Amino acid sequence: MSVTREAVLETLKTIEDPTGKGDIVAAGVVRALNIDGGNVRFVLEIDPARAEAYGPIRDQAEALVKAVKGVENLSVVLTGHSAQPAPPDLKLGHKSEPKGPEKIPGVNNIIAVASGKGGVGKSTVSANLACALAAQGRRVGLLDADVYGPSQPRMLGVSGRPASPDGKTILPMRNHGVTMMSIGLMTNDDQAVVWRGPMLMGALQQMMMQVQWGALDVLLVDLPPGTGDVQMTLAQKAQVDGAIIVSTPQDVALIDARKGIDMFQQLNVPIVGMIENMSTHICSNCGHEEHVFGHGGVAAEAAKLNVPLLAEIPLHLDIRLAADGGAPIVVSAPDSAQAKGFADVAQALIAKGIA
């Protein structure tokens, strides 16, 4: 018998809020309650100034909800939200940060795969690069941090829900030699993630620090497009060894890619290199080569920044079909010309000693 939303809420209503506003449900502390069969997840969103008072509340909520009939796995995230946030500090990484970046237990290197603009194929690159590294004998993890548009479960052919034996440690999924975790495994396919910045940051920290990654040579982090909370949280909380910037050759994409590069420079994360995706298209009927999005823009930008151009990945139907089918092109057709670019990038990262 599956647990009901009403049963969980009635249980949480028995817990008094420390602010004296009634129970924690009435006080608006309980957010993002998600129930899927026996899997229950919710966030306790609090004023950071009262974090110490809410520690026992989280433990109490966890103990009571675990006892509800039908609950098999439980995830409770305690995250802070200030009603009057301080103005943003443009000098990122300043000395007043209470805690610097930490190593993720068992993970030797962390590489962020980023883009300034959406739709440039960053997730496709991440999935293929992870599988290419695994094919070359590396112990690889892939964290899908694109919270609003998680696509790695589909691309890596992973389904089901991650287990949490103790309600705190999350066991990741694995396929094609890649250990993977994604918020997409915690939600239904058609369910939107409607979270504020503090909830995003709490979820990312949980996926980084509470997932049992095991011993990894490298953890790739597939970031959302842009320069927002997720990127900043990653760089400020974890020791990121480098970032790969993915862009198409067109000027519109490069404008945003430059902003992404500038963000990582402000966050003191080195740029490992750039990848030009959808670089060229060769007609499968006549063999004519056409640069649909232009050509050479990413190479010129990489030269300007004095960073390597890691690969020029073609625009090809087989790459898209392989990703949609759950077996990236480096898995489904490892000897193809389309897979070669990803294999070359993997070799370059290994040669640099960061994978």
- Cβ of 5: how many Cβ atoms within 10 Å? 11
Would you say 116 is a known binding-site residue? yes
How far is Cα of residue 32 from the mean position of the Cα atoms in its chain?
19
For tokens 């992404």, what's the residue?
260
Say which residues have a Cβ less than 8 Å from residue 269's Cβ, sequence separation at least 6: 112, 235, 240, 242, 243
CA distances from 88 to 84, 92, 196, 328 (A): 12, 9, 16, 40
Would you say 273 is a known binding-site residue? no
At 37, list the tokens: 């069969």
Q: What are phi and psi of 328, to 5 degrees?
A: -50, 160
Q: Report the DSSP beta bridge partners of residue 224.
A: none
Say which residues have a Cβ less than 8 Å from residue 193's Cβ, sequence separation at least 6: 147, 148, 183, 187
Would you say 38 is a known binding-site residue? no
Nearest to 34, CA basis, from 153, 195, 180, 169: 195
**Can you tell me the distance from the alpha carbon of 84 to that of 235, in angstroms, rounded to the nearest whole number?**
24
Which stretches does DSSP call E strand in 99-177? 107-114, 140-144, 173-175
Q: What are phi and psi of 264, to 5 degrees?
A: -65, -35
Q: Give me the helices (H) in the chain, please.
A: 5-12, 51-66, 122-135, 152-155, 197-209, 229-237, 251-266, 297-305, 317-324, 329-332, 337-352
- The DSSP 8-state label assigned to residue 146 in this structure reads -
Nearest to 323, CA basis, from 273, 277, 276, 254: 277
Would you say 13 is a known binding-site residue? no
Would you say 352 is a known binding-site residue? no
**Can you tell me the distance from the alpha carbon of 178 to that of 153, in angstroms, rounded to the nearest whole number?**
12
Yes or no: say if 343 and 127 are a contact pair by the CB < 8 Å rule: no
Would you say 122 is a known binding-site residue? yes
Enumerate the known binding-site residues for ATP: 116-123
Binding residues, by number, are: 116-123
